[in-house]
Chains A and B, each alone.
Chain A
Amino acid sequence: MSKQAKAVAGGDHFTRWLVIGMVVLVVVTGVIFSVISSSTKANESFAALKGYSLGQPVATTIDSAPGSGLVLNPGAPVKIDIWEDPQCPVCRTFETSVGAYVEDLVRAKKATVVFHVLSFLGPESIRSANALMCSADESQYLDFHKAMYVIQPALENSGFYSNANLIKIGDYIGLKSKRFTDCVTSGAKLDLVKTHADSMSIYKVTGTPTVFINGNLWQRKANGFDLNEFRSAVEAG
């Protein structure tokens, strides 16, 4: 092999490592950028809760007999069962479309609403479900539930739903009692969370959000969630 050929071969070797190095650099920089930007975005979402004021407390009872729902406003002519996972993005869409209407039904005592808090999307769903049930003890389920979906991050199980951040949500909306924070921190409702999760099979619920109106599965026709469609389904009973 001539001297020149050797030099070329050595040069190729150098180029290859240089290229590999550059690619690695790009990827590492990209990952760091991505991690920082998505966690900043999640934390900035708290800003959306500024100026939030708690609504009137609504007593919430635990219906232990048929599958342990959280019952709001029992005894109304229409009964709506809502099955949700706190981290489920489609539940957020559902909440955005019909959440205000459901809240209205409860506050105006027009319907009994039973929330089944599911937690199949991982550890952060379990933690969030626990916190939701703690808020029910404080009679502020509606508010905490709403706030939780307002700030739901795009990424599931990203570390956002820590107990500290769950307490922070409460803090922002004015749910600050020691009983609430203790309940979140100690995971006081974890057994109940499990009971809710287990009740899925009893009702043959396989996904979220699932809605029953007077015990009948609501089958929507629109692609998304249409408030008018939902309203007429509820009014038809």
Chain B
Amino acid sequence: MKRFNSRYQKSITFIGRLILGATLIAAGGLKAFVPAEAASAVAAYKILPLQMAHVVGYALPWLEMAIGLLLIIGISIRMASVVAGGIMVIFIGAIISVWARGLLIDCGCFGGGGAIDPSKAAAVHRTYAVEITRDLGLLLVALYLYFFPHGIFSVEKSAHNNEEL
């Protein structure tokens, strides 16, 4: 396993950057230009006070896009992966919180969002599980990038190898 990793790490890092970066850019891009929807999607979680939820709804898509871009072109990968990982932890926590409180909402992850008809409860709960799994996967990718930030096709060149960090 270790040998496998040291052999392919640079490619794995690159693929990880592409996956995490592209997901973030897609998620951000789909929300950034429908700000009202994004803001009400965040408000639907009923976690933050309203005005704050709106500001987060406005800011989040842009943050996602900026971080995604950094990951893909390969600048400050470590910092970007910390932020991306943090975002995932928050998303996972938010969905768990919504699930635990019995709210039925569309996560608004890739646009849309808001309350959902109670008749679709079962489907919504299934969706929550899928979303949590997806975000956990992305969190793992972010962790990998934190420990092995240096890979191929990156603007940022390392002075040293990953092992020495």
Contact surface of A with B, Cβ cutoff 8 Å: 8, 15-16, 19-20, 22-23, 26-27, 29-31, 33-35, 37-38, 41-42, 89, 122, 153-158, 206-207
Whether A35 pairs with B58 at a CB distance below 8 angstroms is yes
Whether A15 pairs with B76 at a CB distance below 8 angstroms is yes
Contacts of A42 in B (CB 8 A): 36
Is B96 an interface residue, CB under 8 A from the partner?
no
Q: Interface-forming stretch among B2-10, B59-67, B124-132, B137-145?
A: B59-67
CB-defined interface of B42-64 with A at 8 Å, one 1/0 digit per residue? 01000000100011001101110
> Known: A37-B35, A154-B36, A207-B118. Is A23-B70 also a contact (CB below 8 A)?
yes
Whether B63 pairs with A16 at a CB distance below 8 angstroms is no
Give Cα A20–Cα B38 distance, bound, in whole angstroms: 24
Whether B39 pairs with A158 at a CB distance below 8 angstroms is yes
Of the candidates A20, A23, A158, the one having the most CB atoms from chain B within 10 angstroms of its own CB is A23
Contacts of B62 in A (CB 8 A): 26-27, 29-31
Whether A38 pairs with B39 at a CB distance below 8 angstroms is yes
Give Cα A27–Cα B118 distance, bound, in whole angstroms: 35
Contact surface of B with A, Cβ cutoff 8 Å: 32, 34-40, 43, 50, 54-55, 58-59, 61-63, 65-67, 70, 75-76, 79, 114, 118, 159
Q: Is chain A's interface secondary structure helix, strand, loop, or mixed overall?
A: helix
Whether B114 pairs with A31 at a CB distance below 8 angstroms is no
* Minimum C-beta distance from A237 to chain B (A): 24
Contacts of B34 in A (CB 8 A): 154
* Minimum C-beta distance from B108 to chain A (A): 12
Whether B58 pairs with A30 at a CB distance below 8 angstroms is yes
Of the candidates A38, A89, A206, the one having the most CB atoms from chain B within 10 angstroms of its own CB is A38
17 residue pairs A–B, Cβ–Cβ below 8 Å: A8-B159, A15-B75, A23-B63, A23-B67, A26-B62, A26-B65, A27-B59, A29-B62, A30-B32, A30-B61, A31-B59, A34-B58, A37-B35, A122-B50, A155-B39, A156-B40, A157-B50
